Amino acid sequence: LWVAIPVAILAGLVSFVSPCVLPLVPGYLGYLGSTTTTTAAPTLDGGRTVTAERARLLLGVTLFIAGFTVVFVAVTILGGTFGYLLLQYANVLTRVFGVVIIALGLVFLGFFGIAQRTLRPRAQGRAGLIGAPLLGFALGVGWTPCIGPTLAAVQTLAFTEASAARGAVLSAAYCLGLGLPFVLIAWGLRWS
């Protein structure tokens, strides 16, 4: 485990610089910056209280990281907990999921008109710090397939050994590696 933790952190860093995550960093930090900064009272020299804004932005980024950490750790715990069952019924599950993939392919091709509907939620206003973990949760859910190769390497340990605790520790280490660059960039947002 002590060897696997640094590997999981490194896998998180690799995911951060992947083409799936790195191009999104300015948008995420811009969104978090716009929702977490306060309108501080101007000082005598006309400046803002940069320290309060930075602290609020770092809190927002930390909540953002907590959002995707919840997703990744939960998936790993479930995989570790049900890993034994998944391995025991792998043959049956492979066939069932094969049918599901074929059905989803037919939906994608447009064979089922009702499945072609688009739902567009509309959010207005500023969510503030409440929006930060929700954005992290959205990253965790939406970008899991894209960062899947590195995340799968970490989560495979939980799935194959059926150990939820070990998988949770490794997923948390992965999230630390993925989240640390977000914190560092947020810390230096003014100069970066």
53 against 67, higher pLDDT: 67
Average pLDDT over residues 27-34: 75
pTM, entire model:
0.70
Q: Most confidently modeled of 83-87, 160-164, 183-187?
A: 183-187
Question: What's the mean per-residue pLDDT of the chain?
Answer: 78
Query: How many angstroms separate the CA atoms of 63 and 134, rounded?
Result: 9
- Where does the pLDDT of residue 45 fall: very low under 50, low under 70, confident under 90, or very high at 90 and above? very low
Angle, CA 137 vertex, CA 30 and CA 38 arms, to 5°: 35
Determine the pLDDT at residue 177: 93
Cβ atoms of 76 and 167 closer than 8 Å:
yes
Read off the pLDDT of residues 105-132 as tens digits, 9 standing for 90 and up.
888 888 877 777 776 766 555 667 787 8
Determine the pLDDT at residue 154: 75
Closest residue by Cα to residue 85 from 165, 156, 155, 162: 162
Average pLDDT over residues 164-186: 88
- Where does the pLDDT of residue 86 fall: very low under 50, low under 70, confident under 90, or very high at 90 and above? confident
CB neighbours of residue 3 within 10 Å? 6
Q: Most confidently modeled of 27-36, 133-142, 144-153, 173-182?
A: 173-182
Determine the pLDDT at residue 30: 77
Determine the pLDDT at residue 121: 64
Determine the pLDDT at residue 44: 44
Cβ atoms of 72 and 169 closer than 8 Å:
no
Determine the pLDDT at residue 159: 62
173 against 151, higher pLDDT: 173
